[in-house]
RNA sequence: GGGAGCUUAGCUCAGCUGGUUCAGAGCACCUGCCUUACAAGCAGGGGGUCACUGGUUCGAACCCAGUAGCUCCCA
């Protein structure tokens, strides 16, 4: 097999991914094992992989691979979402390029184009996930608009309608004039925008002599004055008492409107007079309802003015704004303008400014449905990770509003409502059923037609954890019984309400259970300047290119290293580089072991001690790693793994076990090293699936049986470990490090062996480690002394003294200074300890073990000072 | 305007129920090494008034109040 000096990921990646697929390792079918299930947040079917997907799916893959290795029946369900607005917008744009206007097409014709588009671009993102190594059960791939899932959506609509949750009504909705559809509140992004505040004069009719014949109103939307149906003043406003009961005339069109009074008007804002435009502003609409005002809607669906505006008919709303301002100025009715900043809503999908618009829509009543969904999170049945999101979730669920579920689009599930010629309507799955429903109500079904609108995409994604297992239609089927509720959901906090909350709601509605136990909320991937990565900014690296450059394992490690739970991550390719380097480190460690020549000789003391220590250290680290996983601290789990492999395994274990130059290795040590290596491979597999699988199959391990793969090997289980042995070894490492440092500061070559004398008073058995010290610190011989020899450098580890004969290199002055410094430090330390111990209140109030600990510290410090003073004297 | 959160080394972040002179990790940086596993490396090292001000306590990065700056969510 390969002995290349650097790891070449590309070959391994293609090879092993297809091998896993061929062997069905990703496949899951219900059996007697414990299930572990994740449903993938379905990406937009026509989308491409971005950094957010990479992060999200890497985490899911780590969780699923680990569960699989732990012997659970791991099932990761992939799929895509039809994303109605986004996809329809793309198709419309594509048609436009071809010179086809959507309006000229029938619904059927349009959908044909849309499906064609979906077929062409639909699979891209899933292919990209394969490159990432995602071990999903591809046989279970679902699409929210495939027949079964659409069926589930329609059934759910009918079910909720029959239960009284769904209704139809005229409401002020967020209208996207570009997408020509209503949007839910969550799809509207508010941004601070620089605007102009126009001060417009309205003529007042029937005013008494002497009073001004006009009033002034401040508005950011002069183009809507033609839709004004009242002027409103605050009844407590002394400036406007003369206006009470009067009427005013709308400028330019001279329509007469009443002046009404309502405390809603803020006297401080603008002029204190408010124009009331019920058709084009939510607050005005409510005011209009209260005061029974007429509603005049002057806008078409595409944002142009209609004939009710009387002037500028057909003009776009923003052009009309400027035109009206100009006309007002010419008419002398524009008093002044001033710059003004305010929040404006924009469509998440098309970025068009949202127009509040009255329209007939379908709604889902949410208040009652939200209650159990909130309860699950509050009582911990559904855990949000990190839990700081519980508050946000609660706030939203407690203030939830009805959900606008209809969208004026064609791409999506068509609402199962049917109208007759008289516009009466019924809700039914089929036309035949609808006809009989009409008849049952004694109404004619003549001219029957289906509702044109489709359902919000989130309505179908809300069913996702159930519908992928066909759980809405066949609640008793084996899959849903086995896999539902799923275990973990990994998604972005931005869609906690859009999606997560609705899945919980629907899950409860159908099964009385929440759809998952844990929701891991990842952060947003930002660039190192903290800006969100986006196509328009061009600050996002191409994930595929990254994987080409650093290897998939490297990129996976890079993503996770920079990703503490729940925090946004400041991505930098340097992390991927670190990941690549890590893979390369493992590769080279493997080359070392592979290169050993085996002989039937006894293991050296260093080799024996190394094996004894690493076995314990591995178990200790495994406990830490388990703890991190249990708390979903994936990046900490990875970092602990990284340090275990790089520092403990490579820098300490292998260095100790390594035979002398051109010497063979004891068979026993070789076998142990191989066993450790195999454990390391199993441990890193969830993070680095490719290199671990590649090495797993190396001939070093002999011929692997069919199906003996790292992906399904048993995940290492944390065993017992000897704490004393591990702390002793830490002291040993300190000794070695001190000697190396000594050599470094004295500018001695690392090759010259130095003699070491040890004066140990602790219970650490240094004789046992003598050979290890010699090997790691290049020591010629070790003696055990009682007294400090003269003319040597010394250092202290714990209570034990070490003397290194650095020959003539001893600089007495420097040594004196170093020791004095250490004494000063210890004296300071001792002082602070004594201060505590002589403080009666401390001794009385502090916990006994804390006090005892302070006494130990005191004794230790005193002993050390004594030793150091001895050293100083002997210089 | 309402709500949530953040501020610890040059960067990204740990620091659990206050208790070692508690300030830690990775990366970056500095010094010396091409020591036949790895320069994508090895060995060693430096670096922080824990945003600021006050309080509680024997003791505060940690608890409380206020100030400043930043982020997110909702209106």
- Residue at which a domain ends, from A306, A335, A355: A355
Q: Do strands A230-233 and A256-261 pair parallel, antiparallel, or not at all (unpaired)? A: parallel
Asked if A676 and A624 sit in the same domain, the reply is yes
Verify that A200 and A340 share a domain, yes or no. Answer: yes
Same domain, A256 and A305: yes
Nucleotide closest in space to A836 (CA vs C1')? B58
> Is the residue at A261 inside a domain?
yes
Residue A159 within any structural domain of the chain:
no
Closest residue to B19 (CA to C1') is A850
A443 within 8 A of A424, measured Cβ to Cβ? yes
A630-658 mean pLDDT: 94
Residue A635 is encoded by which pair of tokens? 């990046």
Assigned domain for A776 exists: yes
Given a cut of 80, whether residue A491 has pLDDT beyond it is yes
Kindly report, residue by residue over A330-343, the tens digit of the pLDDT: 988 998 888 777 77
Is there a binding annotation on residue A319? no
Residue from A502, A497, A525, A531 nearest A514 by CA: A502
Residue with the bigger pLDDT between A102 and A828: it is: A102
Split into its structural domains, chain A has a count of 3
User: Could you report the per-residue pLDDT of A723-756, keeping only the tens digit for each?
Assistant: 999 999 999 999 999 999 988 888 888 888 889 9
Whether A627 shows a pLDDT value over 60: the answer reads: yes
The chain-wide mean pLDDT, for chain A, equals: 89
CATH code where residue A206 lies: 3.90.740.10
Would the pLDDT of A207 be above 70? no
Among all protein residues, pick the one whose CA is nearest to the C1' atom of B13: A564
What secondary structure letter does DSSP report for A299? B
Q: Which residues of A407-432 are buried (b: 16+ CB within 10 A; e: fewer)?
A: bbbbbbbbbbbbbbeeeebbbbeeee
Nucleotide of closest approach to A575 (CA, C1'): B27
A204 pLDDT above the threshold of 70: yes
Q: Bin A539: left if φ > 0, else alpha if -120 < ψ < 50, else beta.
A: alpha
Those nucleotides of strand B lying less than 7 Å from any protein Cβ are: 3-5, 11-14, 19-21, 25-28, 31, 33, 35-45, 57-59, 71-75
**CATH code (residue A567):** 1.10.730.10
Give the whole-angstrom CA distance, residue A35 versus residue A487: 9
Beta bridge partner(s), residue A188: A347
3-state DSSP call for residue A194? strand
Q: Distance in angstroms, CA of A656 to C1' of B32?
A: 23
Give, in Å, how far the C1' of B72 lies from the CA of A246: 47
Q: For A462-530, where are the alpha helices, taking DSSP H only?
A: 464-467, 478-483, 502-511
CA-to-CA separations, A445 to A26, A430, A722, in angstroms, rounded:
51, 13, 82
Spatial distance from the CA of A621 to the C1' of B47 (Å) = 28
Determine the distance between A790 (CA) and B71 (C1') in angstroms. 62
Closest nucleotide to A391, Cα to C1' = B4
User: What pLDDT does A535 receive?
Assistant: 66
By C-alpha to C1' distance, B2 is nearest to: A395
CA triple A683-A684-A686, angle to 5 deg: 95
Is residue A591 assigned to a domain?
Answer: yes
pLDDT exceeds cutoff 70 at A566: no
Residue A210 has pLDDT above 60, yes or no: no
Q: Give the model's confidence band at A2: pLDDT under 50 very low, under 70 low, under 90 confident, else very high.
A: very low
Q: Which nucleotide is nearest to A396 (CA to C1')?
A: B74
CB atoms within 10 A of CB A667: 14
Q: Out of A355, A386, A405, pick the residue that ends a domain.
A: A355
Residues A677 and A562 in one domain: yes
Q: Of A837 and A694, which is predicted with more confidence?
A: A694
Residues A809 and A777 in one domain: yes
**Mean pLDDT computed over A641-662:** 95
Q: Which nucleotide is nearest to A569 (CA to C1')?
A: B12
Find all residues with CB under 8 Å of A387, minimum gap 6, and list them. Answer: none
pLDDT band, very low/low/confident/very high, at A172 (cuts 50, 70, 90): confident
A45: alpha, beta or left? (left if phi > 0; alpha if psi -120 to 50): alpha
The integer distance in angstroms from the CA atom of A137 to the C1' atom of B6 is 39
Q: How big is chain A by its Cα radius of gyration, in Å? A: 37
More confident site: A8 or A871 = A8
Closest CA to A217 of A253, A261, A250: A250
pLDDT at A744 (0 to 100) = 85
Range of the domain at A857: 743-874
| Cis status, amide bond into A386, omega within 30 of 0 | yes
Distance A745 CA to B27 C1' (A): 25
Largest CA distance in chain A: 120
b/e string for A749-781 if b means 16 or more Cβ within 10 A? eeeeebbbbbbbeeebebeebbbbbbbbbbbee
Is residue A640, in this structure, part of any structural domain at all? yes
pTM of this structure: 0.89
Q: How far is the CA of A821 from the C1' of B61 (A)?
A: 27
Q: Can you list the positions of beta strands (E) in A636-707?
A: 665-666
Taking C1' of B33 and every protein CA, the nearest residue is A750
**Distance in angstroms (rounded) separating the CA atoms of residues A112 and A96:** 15
pLDDT at A523: 82
Tokens of A402: 């009805």
- Omega prior to A485 cis, within 30 of 0: yes
Spanning CA of A183 to C1' of B37, the rounded length in angstroms is: 60
* DSSP, res A53: H
> Nearest residue to nucleotide B44 when comparing alpha carbons to its C1'?
A741
Q: Does A534 fall in a domain?
A: no
**What's the CA gap between A392 and A387, in Å, rounded?**
10
Mean pLDDT on A494-500: 88
Average pLDDT over residues A572-599: 94
Mean pLDDT of A570-585: 93
Which range is least confidently modeled, A36-45, A90-99, A312-321, A348-357?
A348-357
Residue A212 has pLDDT above 70, yes or no: no
Residues A639 and A762 in one domain: no
Q: Write out pLDDT tens, residues A242-257.
A: 888 888 999 999 899 9
Average pLDDT over residues A18-31: 97
A162-169 long-range CB contacts below 8 Å, 24 or more apart?
A162/A427, A164/A365, A165/A364, A165/A365, A165/A368, A165/A369, A166/A362, A166/A363, A166/A364, A166/A365, A166/A405, A166/A427, A167/A362, A167/A363, A167/A365, A168/A360, A168/A361, A168/A362, A168/A363, A168/A417, A168/A425, A169/A360, A169/A361, A169/A363
Strands (E) in A187-244, as ranges, are 188-205, 214-219, 230-233
**Which nucleotide has the least CA–C1' distance to A776?**
B43
A203 with A248, same domain: the answer is yes
Q: Which nucleotide is nearest to A738 (CA to C1')?
A: B44
Residue A447 falls inside a structural domain: no
pLDDT classification of A656: cutoffs 50, 70, 90:
very high
CA of A574 to C1' of B28 (A): 10
Q: How many CA atoms lie within 13 A of A492 on its CB side?
A: 17
Of residues A248, A86, A285, A311, the one with CA closest to residue A173: A285
- Write out the two tokens for A273: 């007079």
Last residue of one domain, picked from the residues A326, A355, A384: A355
Residue nearest to nucleotide B42 (CA to C1'): A651
In this structure, are A205 and A343 located in the same domain?
Answer: yes
Report yes or no on A676 lying in a domain: yes
pLDDT above 70 for A766: yes
Provide, in whole angstroms, the distance separating residue A793's CA from nucleotide B52's C1': 46
Q: Are residues A286 and A347 in the same domain?
A: yes
Q: Please report the pLDDT score of residue A783 as a whole number.
A: 93
For residues A702 and A704, give the distance between their C-alpha atoms in angstroms, rounded to a whole number: 6
> What is the rounded CA–CA span in Å between residue A817 and residue A431?
96
Is residue A23 within 8 A of residue A700, CB to CB? The reply is: no
Q: Looking at A35-49, A585-599, A810-824, which range is the least confident one?
A: A810-824
pLDDT score of A830 more than 70: yes
* A243 and A189 belong to one structural domain: yes
Q: pLDDT band at residue A211, thresholds of 50, 70 and 90?
A: low
Cα–Cα distance, A207 to A848 (Å, whole number):
87
Pairing assessment for the beta strands A449-450 and A486-491 based on DSSP bridges: unpaired
Looking at the fold, whether A206 and A246 belong to one and the same domain comes out as: yes
Would you give the DSSP letter of residue A489? E
Q: Which nucleotide is nearest to A658 (CA to C1')?
A: B37
Distance A386 CA to B15 C1' (A): 17
Q: Which two tokens mark A573?
A: 């390719």
Confidence of residue A538 (pLDDT cuts 50, 70, 90): confident
Residues 6+ apart with CB under 8 A from A847: none
**Residue A320 shares a structural domain with residue A257:** yes
């Amino acid at each position: 097999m390969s002995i290349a000096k650097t790891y070449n990921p590309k070959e391994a990646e293609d090879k092993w991914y297809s091998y896993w697929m061929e062997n069905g390792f990703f496949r899951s079918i219900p059996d007697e094992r414990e299930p572990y299930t994740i449903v993938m947040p379905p990406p937009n079917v026509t989308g491409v992989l971005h950094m957010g997907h990479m992060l999200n799916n890497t985490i899911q893959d780590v969780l699923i691979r680990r569960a699989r290795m732990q012997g659970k029946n791991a099932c990761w369900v992939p799929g895509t979402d039809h994303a109605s607005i986004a996809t329809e917008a793309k198709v419309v744009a594509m048609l436009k390029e071809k010179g086809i206007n959507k309006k000229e097409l029938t619904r059927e014709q349009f959908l044909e184009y849309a499906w064609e588009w979906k077929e062409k671009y639909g699979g891209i993102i899933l292919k990209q996930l394969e490159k990432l190594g995602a071990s999903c059960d591809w046989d279970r791939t679902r699409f929210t608009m495939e027949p079964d899932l659409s069926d589930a959506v329609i059934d759910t609509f009918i079910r909720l309608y029959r239960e009284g949750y769904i209704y139809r009504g005229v409401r002020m909705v967020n209208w996207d004039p570009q997408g020509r559809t209503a949007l839910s509140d969550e799809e509207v992004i508010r941004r601070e925008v620089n605007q102009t505040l126009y001060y417009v004069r309205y003529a007042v009719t029937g005013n008494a002599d002497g009073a001004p014949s006009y009033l002034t109103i401040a508005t950011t939307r002069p183009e809507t004055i033609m839709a004004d149906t009242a002027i409103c003043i605050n009844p407590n406003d002394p400036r406007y008492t003369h206006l009470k009961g009067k009427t005013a005339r709308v400028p330019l069109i001279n329509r007469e409107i009443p002046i009404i009074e309502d405390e809603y008007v803020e006297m401080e804002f603008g002029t204190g007079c408010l124009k009331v435009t019920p058709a084009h502003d939510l607050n005005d609409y409510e005011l209009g309802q209260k005061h029974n005002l007429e509603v005049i809607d002057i806008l078409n669906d595409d944002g142009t003015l209609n004939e009710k505006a009387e002037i500028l008919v057909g003009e776009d709303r923003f052009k009309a704004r400027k035109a009206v301002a100009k006309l007002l100025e010419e008419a002398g009715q524009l008093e002044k303008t001033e710059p003004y900043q305010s929040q404006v809503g924009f469509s998440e999908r098309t970025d068009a400014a949202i127009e509040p618009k009255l329209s007939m829509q379908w709604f889902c009543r949410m208040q009652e449905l939200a209650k159990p969904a909130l309860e699950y999170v509050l009582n911990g049945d559904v855990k949000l990770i990190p839990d700081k999101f519980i508050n946000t979730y609660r706030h939203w669920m407690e203030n939830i509003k009805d959900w606008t579920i209809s969208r004026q689009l064609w791409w999506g599930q068509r609402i199962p409502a049917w109208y007759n010629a008289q516009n009466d309507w019924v809700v039914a799955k089929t036309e035949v059923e609808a006809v009989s429903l009409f008849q049952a109500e004694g109404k004619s079904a003549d001219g029957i037609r289906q509702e044109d609108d489709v359902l919000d995409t989130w309505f179908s994604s809300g069913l996702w954890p159930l519908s992928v297992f066909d759980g809405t239609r066949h609640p008793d089927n084996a899959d849903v019984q086995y896999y539902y509720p799923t275990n973990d959901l990994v998604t972005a906090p931005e869609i906690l309400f859009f999606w997560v909350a609705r899945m919980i709601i629907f899950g409860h509605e159908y099964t009385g259970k929440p759809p998952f136990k844990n929701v891991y909320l990842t952060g947003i991937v930002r660039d190192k300047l903290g800006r969100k990565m986006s196509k328009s900014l061009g600050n996002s690296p191409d994930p595929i290119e990254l994987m080409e450059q650093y290897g998939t394992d490297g990129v996976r490690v890079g993503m996770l290293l920079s990703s503490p739970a729940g925090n946004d991550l400041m991505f930098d390719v340097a992390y991927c580089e670190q990941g690549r380097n890590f893979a390369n480190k493992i590769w080279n460690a493997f080359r070392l072991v592979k290169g050993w020549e085996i002989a039937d000789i006894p293991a050296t003391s260093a080799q024996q001690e190394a094996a004894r220590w690493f076995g314990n250290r591995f178990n200790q680290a495994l406990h830490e790693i388990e703890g991190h996983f249990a708390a979903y601290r994936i990046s900490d789990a990875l970092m602990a793994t990284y340090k275990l492999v790089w520092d403990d395994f490579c820098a300490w274990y292998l260095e100790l076990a390594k035979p002398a130059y051109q010497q063979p290795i004891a068979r026993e040590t070789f076998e142990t090293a191989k066993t450790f290596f195999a454990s390391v491979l199993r441990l890193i597999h969830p993070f680095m699936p490719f290199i671990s699988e590649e090495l797993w199959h190396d001939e070093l391990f002999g011929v692997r049986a069919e199906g003996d793969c790292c992906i399904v090997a048993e995940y290492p289980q944390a065993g017992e470990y000897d704490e004393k042995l591990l702390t002793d070894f830490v002291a040993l490492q300190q000794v070695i490090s001190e000697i190396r440092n000594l050599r470094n500061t004295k500018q001695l070559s690392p090759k010259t062996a130095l003699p070491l004398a040890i004066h140990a008073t602790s219970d650490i058995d240094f004789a046992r480690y003598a050979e290890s010290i010699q090997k790691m610190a290049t020591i010629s011989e070790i003696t055990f002394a009682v007294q400090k020899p003269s003319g040597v450098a010394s250092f202290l580890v714990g209570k034990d003294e070490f003397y290194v004969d650095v020959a003539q290199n001893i600089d007495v002055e420097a040594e004196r200074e170093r020791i004095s410094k250490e004494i000063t430090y210890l004296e300071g330390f001792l002082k602070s300890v004594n201060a505590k111990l002589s403080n009666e209140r401390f001794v009385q109030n502090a916990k006994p073990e804390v006090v005892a600990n302070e006494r130990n510290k005191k004794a230790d410090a005193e002993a050390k000072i004594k030793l150091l003073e001895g050293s100083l004297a002997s210089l």
